[in-house]
Amino acid sequence: MKELSGASLHLALIHYPVVNKNGETIASAVTNLDIHDIARISRTYGIRSFHIVTPLKDQQVLVRRIISHWLTGGGADYNSDRRDALSLIRLQSSVADAVAEIREAGAGTPKLVATCARMRPESVGYTVMREFIAEGRPCLLCFGTAWGLPETFLKEADYVLDPIDGGTGYNHLSVRSAVSIILDRLVGQYR
Amino acid sequence: MKELSGASLHLALIHYPVVNKNGETIASAVTNLDIHDIARISRTYGIRSFHIVTPLKDQQVLVRRIISHWLTGGGADYNSDRRDALSLIRLQSSVADAVAEIREAGAGTPKLVATCARMRPESVGYTVMREFIAEGRPCLLCFGTAWGLPETFLKEADYVLDPIDGGTGYNHLSVRSAVSIILDRLVGQYR
């Protein structure tokens, strides 16, 4: 059970569709450190696959260049732990493509679990979602870059998780921090 | 109680003394994104102060330049939430200086709580440390950059926290992820 906790869980880091500071839907740029940090977190918790979603061709070239450096280039010899983490990455043009690949890999049709920095009427808690995941039901956990996922995406998701509330009302974490905390809440174990 | 959970907690991001890949004690370079991400996490959980520790003068100049951009420069107008987070930062030449400043600010003498990616015989669990913090006892939570804190530092600390174990044996998280997860375990609240 402990070893398998993340095995039905997939993760998507979404660069389109997301919103900017003014709430407009945009395609954001890929951040190198997001790729590394989130791959390492995913590997730590035994997540099944980590999907980087961007429809922009030049951004896809950038992502492929970063991954290949660490999987087969100079980085692979320098740091095999990093290779291990980055091998979880799948590059996708859309969230629908990520869902299709997960389904075709025989991992079932994942429920779309969105994240959001604001509380919503339909938000679900971590305890409920943790039990859902522990039952082995496949989920694709979706994180928006920039100012987060658009309203249309949140409405279409199967679930939206509660925001991370540190008791201060401040809700401006980096996506790297949000992924770290949420994965620990959903599949982490400690004394 | 909820609003006050992080109020006795201070955080140190240590660039010296830390160890490199070969276990030698070095001074590491400051990473811009560490400053931002960890300031935002600290602000989210109501941490009292965030100490960036480096004895290197050129690195101190760099940190001051980053902070001043966001506190009083162009960044302050552009993103006041970021200013809010970065105002928690204190630049220190040593951990001893951080302890002295916390004591002089009237916050008491903090216990040194070190973090480490490997399990140690004396390691303490998160539940125990969470109760300790909830009682309002001041703690300086210490995170090493590079390959982590040296053995001498760990031996001299009052407590060493359990490593983050995602159930896979992989223990190569970024310091940004480690801070996020550990603060949530120590002072986070959720349903």
pLDDT tens-digit series, residues B71-116 = 887 777 778 888 889 999 999 999 999 999 999 998 899 999 999 9
Q: What is the mean pLDDT of chain B?
A: 94
Q: Would you state the pLDDT for residue B72? A: 85
Those residues with Cβ within 8 angstroms of residue B149's Cβ, 6 or more apart along the chain or in another chain? B14, B17, B18, B19, B114, B115, B116, B142, B143
Set of chain B residues whose Cβ sits within 8 Å of the Cβ of A119? none
Quick check: B66 pLDDT over 80? yes
Q: Would you state the pLDDT for residue A2? A: 45
Stretches where chain A sits below pLDDT 70 are 1-4
What is the end-to-end Cα distance of chain B in Å, rounded? Answer: 16
- Give the phi and the psi of residue A92 in degrees, each rounded to 5: -130, 150
Could you tell me the CA-to-CA distances from A184 to A19, A45, A158, B2, B7 in Å, in that order?
26, 8, 21, 20, 23
CB contact under 8 A, B166 and A187: yes
Cβ atoms A12, A141 nearer than 8 A: yes
Q: Would you state the pLDDT for residue A35? A: 95
Q: Would you state the pLDDT for residue A82? A: 86
% residues pLDDT > 90 (chain B): 86
Set of chain B residues whose Cβ sits within 8 Å of the Cβ of A165? 189-190
CA–CA dist A28, A148 (Å, integer): 10
For residues B7-24, average pLDDT: 96
Which run of H or E residues covers position B25?
strand B25-26
Q: Which residues does A contribute to its contact with B (CB < 8 Å)?
A: 2-3, 5-6, 33, 36-37, 40-41, 43-46, 81-82, 84-85, 125-127, 162, 164-168, 170-174, 176-177, 179-181, 183-185, 187-191
Set of chain B residues whose Cβ sits within 8 Å of the Cβ of A88? none
Name B25's bridge partners: B19
Residue B17 pLDDT grade (very low, low, confident, very high; cuts 50, 70, 90) = very high
For residues B38-48, average pLDDT: 96
Those residues with Cβ within 8 angstroms of residue A152's Cβ, 6 or more apart along the chain or in another chain? A17
- Only one residue has tokens 């040194």, namely B112
Q: Would you state the pLDDT for residue A3? A: 45
Q: If you compute the radius of gyration of chain A from its CA atoms, what whole number of angstroms results?
A: 16
CA–CA dist B71, B10 (Å, integer): 20
For residues B115-129, average pLDDT: 96
Residue in A43, A166, A180 closest to B168 by CB: A43
Q: What single letter denotes the amino acid at residue A164? A: I
Q: Would you state the pLDDT for residue B3? A: 45
Q: Would you state the pLDDT for residue B2? A: 45
Cβ atoms A88, A47 nearer than 8 A: yes
Residue in A3, A5, A167 closest to B3 by CB: A167
Those residues with Cβ within 8 angstroms of residue A46's Cβ, 6 or more apart along the chain or in another chain? A3, A4, A5, A6, A7, A187, B166, B167, B168
Q: Would you state the pLDDT for residue B1? A: 39
- Give the phi and the psi of residue A10 in degrees, each rounded to 5: -120, 155
Residue in A44, A82, A190 closest to B125 by CB: A190
What is the end-to-end Cα distance of chain A in Å, rounded? Answer: 16
pTM: 0.95
Set of chain B residues whose Cβ sits within 8 Å of the Cβ of A82? 172
